[in-house]
Structure 1
């Protein structure tokens, strides 16, 4: 990201800048200190997408055909929907959940405005603030932490969500909690750790370069100092689903192709039906948004690795090599649950993962998955602390994620090798339309 030295805009001095300068820097305040809000009127060049065209479609869609390297072009920040949902899935993730520490609604709104301004810049390969990492007063803390200097945008997207706890009454939002955000039930077998679950706010940073993703989250956390604190975060590598037909299907840490039948950005009719919240859903402020469920799923890798290939394939219901449904030849061959083998038994048994999760088993419920592999070191007993950070977007978790996961939790033989240790439910509002808009405006001003 190239260093910028822009002339300071007129306007008030931000609290963050005052804290950074301190008494020794008071003399340079006359040169002007950068507040984040004026940057709302400074859109990055070429960032505006047509309001009816989701990010990842049109001009940005060409990136889906590019190698998943560090030189991907920027995705549009402005649009009807937030980027990072149907955008062709990037290879790296830094996901963070925040607790809001301020009790003032006005301060929370101001933070969302500052975050939006910074995100508009960061996603276009620019620094988080006008003075950047080295262009400001020597006595002041920089406007950017600097570890992404010289790096391109790398396909960075930033997606924000509001957790169920944000609607607890602190900010006058209890009457605006969507019905679709009913608390998730307790699923059989889950072993959730409260400290790495939930959160008032979340930010999903996806990019082709891990340093770019980490840099973005680090700078949003820095901007939020005194108003939010990090509750938990998760790094991910190796996307475990494709969100465009231009992408190859990736593999999870069990070695199987993952997300073959995922919703794709090309499925316009299904996206309207299954992904985007509608005006008639009961929460007008969420129109054009989507609901996000996260689950950290720990895999007992060592036990899985000692399981026979035949058993692994029976558990999933797919061939491990090409990803074809059992009894078929190619990955995208239709699933035929009635097909039987030479022994007269179904190729895909009744409790196979693909059968239990299939839309035909749940009233045509689809999910748009954007999960990632993770390895968080070892657990001290010589076992990898590894697995899948599951991310799924949908129109209504009550009708989509909940029935699918309940079926899997009760019947899936894969449960012998996995356990759910973290969970989150977030309402991701519609996209930022232009430079005068901000994340969550429809909630706070609607």
Structure 2
């Protein structure tokens, strides 16, 4: 199954899943070494939040159906962009190791693609898996996803600006292939960025409807990278804050407001072509069918926000907290009217709306996060913002427009990164193959 703009999901049979995974040549010797030695990688943990109260039979049936959903890793576009947004995220940024060469980078992308083609079908990273190999050797798979279904897992891989050239020069002979649009984002008002939680040579976005499946993906892809790339930083997310299909209800962020009402949807082919997918006519040609990913870790000042009266919260956002309707009237999906005074000129809705930004749109795919608490006993929580756009200038223009956003008083941008996301891989090939052609 290849991913299309409708992102039709299938539940792969065991035979189909094996066939899809086996179409790739398998792990390189370096990848197998990573599996053997990757026990040195720090253990990863995730806290699983409380489930939906009530345990209604219909809800259980729907959850079971989502758990069985499998998306093909191969296709015209990478999965995890227009795919129906899942409930959980594990995002990871990697740096290539010193003294690695072009062959190391290619073999890593091949090994990641092979493993991803298997685990997205509910299989283990190799045929021997967690318990099928030599008992006197470390297993190929860490094993925490044994018995779990695919859970709608998608793996999306991106290339950062520093992969093409950094202080060490053109490490991999690809500097002349760097997309001109792929530059580090400029400073924005409200930035308080932590370098340790920003940027990276490579990134992997793992989304799934089971948090353990998403963590298993990043954990094993990190092990496979052993000796070639190291984990720079990572982020767990839960509770999607946008929707990509009309069948999905608009979710809420940690401020309690519906988020992503006007997001680009997977069945809007025209909007995707104009705003998300890199065109054949764009440069460079190897990026055609790909996109550009921006990640922003946005800390929310939860306790301060919680003391703001409801009417002021509505005014800051420009929508009613309960219904999600614009303050100019109607329901959630009514187009806001900016001609009157109902919606503040510096409200979030007004400043971010396409009508106020020359029609600029982006595809949002964010998640809530809670990283425990800080030294003051306040929640270290917020929004892990992810957006896909045909050109990074779309995001830059919108972010500059938000410099006077009333919501800025209650948020801080603490992490940032940008990556070129190549088109999907053909069956038997690997993500980014066009870059090295």
TM-score, with structure 1 as normaliser: 0.84
Cα distance change of structure 1 residues 318 and 249 upon mapping to structure 2, 3 Å threshold: same
Question: Residue by residue, what CA displacement relative to the aligned partner does 1:130-189 show, whole Å, maximum 9, x if unpaired?
Answer: 100000011221111000000000000000000010010111111111122132111112
Partner of 1:33: none
* Residue correspondence of structure 1 range 49-60 to structure 2 within 5 A: none
Residue aligning to 1:139: 136
Match of 2:358 among 359, 363, 374: 363
Q: Is the 8 A contact 1:20 1:140 kept in 2?
A: no
**Structure 1 partner of 2:399:** 405
1:349 aligns with 2:344: yes
CA–CA distance in structure 1, aligned partners of residues 289 and 27 of structure 2: 33
> 1:341-384 CA deviation, whole Å, 9 max, x = no partner?
xxxxx111111101100112222110100000000000021100
How far, CA to CA, are the matches of 2:205 and 2:295 in structure 1? 11
Partner of 1:107: 104
Cα 1:137/1:245, change in 2 over 3 Å = same
Query: Structure 2 length normalisation: TM-score?
Result: 0.86
Against the structure 1 CA distance between its residues 137 and 412, is the aligned structure 2 distance closer, same or farther, given a 3 Å change threshold? same
Residue 442 in 1 paired to residue 434 in 2? yes
8 A Cα contact 1:21 1:139, kept in partner? no
Show the counterpart of 1:247.
248
Query: How far is 1:295 from its partner?
Result: 0.2
1:317-356 counterparts in 2 under 5 A? Answer: 317-338=318-339, 340=340, 346-356=341-351
- Offset at 1:70? 5.8
Return the index of the structure with the highest Cα Rg.
1
Cα pair 2:157 2:421 within 8 Å, conserved: yes
- Are the equivalent residues in 1 in contact too, given 2:27–2:110 (CA < 8 A)? no
CA distance in 2 between counterparts of 1:122 and 1:81 reads 18
8 A Cα contact 1:99 1:228, kept in partner: yes
Regions of 4+ moved over 3 Å: 9-13, 15-22, 65-70
After superposition, residues 258-273 of structure 1 pair within 5 angstroms as 258-273=259-274
- Residue by residue, what CA displacement relative to the aligned partner does 1:167-220 show, whole Å, maximum 9, x if unpaired? 101111111111221321111120011111000000000000000000000000
- 2: distance between equivalents of 1:417 and 1:223? 40
Give the C-alpha shift of residue 431 in structure 1. Answer: 0.3
Aligned residues between the structures: 391
2:29 is aligned to 14
Q: Does 1:425 align with 2:424?
A: no
Indicate the SS of the match to 1:124. Answer: coil
Cα offset, 1:66, TM superposition: 4.7
Determine which of 126, 130, 135 is the counterpart of 1:129: 126
Contact 1:323-1:331 at 8 Å conserved across structures: yes
Q: Secondary structure in 1 aligned to 2:320?
A: coil
Change (3 A) 1:206 1:328: same
Aligned residue in 2 for 1:35: none
Give the 3 Å change call, closer, same or farther, for CA 69–319 of structure 1 in structure 2. farther
Q: 1:162 aligns with which of 146, 153, 159?
A: 159
Return closer, same or farther for 1:271/1:11 CA change in 2, 3 Å cut-off: closer
Alignment RMSD: 2.3
Instruction: Work out the CA distance in 2 between the residues paired with 1:329 and 1:75.
Output: 37
In the TM superposition, residue 402 of structure 1 has moved relative to its aligned partner by 0.3
CA separation of 1:190/1:14 partners in 2, compared to 1, >3 Å: closer, same or farther? same
Any gaps of 5 or more consecutive residues in structure 2?
A: 1-12, 38-60
